[in-house]
């Protein structure tokens, strides 16, 4: 087995055993083979597993409307889940009164080591953040202060990878901020960067 694959297995076991966040100690971390290919050039960082999505299925962006939208977006640029790797700023489903909630800063910090190690193992050419929380998680690792409204859709060379900050494909975002048709145009930038010479 390739060294990075065995290291990824160790990382997934560590994530499965993690109980650092008291409010999510009984939740399952979504990190494993269902996240995609660790040999991919393209790594997506979203917010957190949703209760009807990855929190239930164990597969990032699956089982809910956000997942359906994401599937439509990657299919639009000719990619499958086997071509990419998907993870989240927070690996467990944050809940409040049984409903999804936004991860707090401490939870993003707690999960930061998992994201850092994932970035190291995948070593992607492009990191695509989906929404502000994903961008926040990358900022914490890079020591940057990128703000979503300022860099949305504008590739940033970081020295480690090209960062492309995009909107999250949730129903709320596609309805109020960035319709799916516009997000499809945004996703075409991913392919352009991935196919460009290093």
- Whether the Cβ atoms of residue 47 and residue 157 lie closer than 8 Å to each other: no
pLDDT at 95: 85
pLDDT band at 72 (very low <50, low <70, confident <90, very high): very high
Q: What is the pLDDT of residues 79-138, one digit of tens each?
A: 999 999 999 999 999 988 888 889 999 999 999 999 999 999 999 999 999 999 999 999
- pLDDT above 90 covers what percent of the chain? 81
What CA–CA distance (Å, rounded) separates 32 from 19?
Answer: 17
Quote the pLDDT of residue 99: 85
Question: pLDDT grade, residue 2 (50/70/90)?
Answer: low
Structure tokens at 112: 């930061």
Strand locations in the chain (E)? 42-46, 85-88, 95-96, 99-100, 126-130, 156-157, 162-166
Architecture per CATH, domain 3-195, reads as 3-Layer(aba) Sandwich (3.40)
Return the number of other C-beta atoms located less than 10 Å from residue 52's C-beta: 16
* Sequence ranges of the domains in the chain: 3-195
Task: Give this prediction's pTM.
Answer: 0.95
pLDDT of residue 14: 96
Strands 162-166 and 156-157: antiparallel
């Amino acid at each position: 087995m390739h060294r990075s694959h065995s290291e990824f297995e160790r990382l997934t076991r560590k994530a499965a055993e993690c109980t650092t966040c008291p409010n999510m100690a009984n939740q399952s971390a979504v990190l494993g083979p269902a996240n995609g290919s660790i040999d991919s050039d393209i790594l997506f960082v979203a917010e957190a597993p949703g209760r009807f999505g990855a929190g239930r299925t164990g597969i990032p962006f699956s089982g809910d409307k956000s997942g359906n939208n994401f599937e439509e977006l990657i299919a639009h640029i000719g990619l499958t889940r086997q071509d990419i790797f998907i993870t989240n700023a927070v690996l467990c489903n944050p809940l409040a009164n049984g409903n999804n909630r936004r991860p707090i800063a401490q939870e993003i910090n707690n999960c930061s080591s998992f994201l850092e190690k994932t970035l190291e193992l995948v070593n992607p050419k492009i990191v695509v953040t989906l929404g502000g929380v994903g961008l926040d998680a990358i900022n914490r690792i890079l020591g940057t202060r990128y703000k979503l409204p300022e860099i949305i859709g504008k590739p940033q060379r970081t020295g480690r990878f090209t960062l492309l900050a995009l909107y999250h494909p949730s129903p709320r975002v596609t309805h109020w901020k960035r319709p799916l048709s516009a997000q499809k145009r945004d996703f075409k930038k991913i392919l352009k960067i991935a196919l460009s010479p290093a």
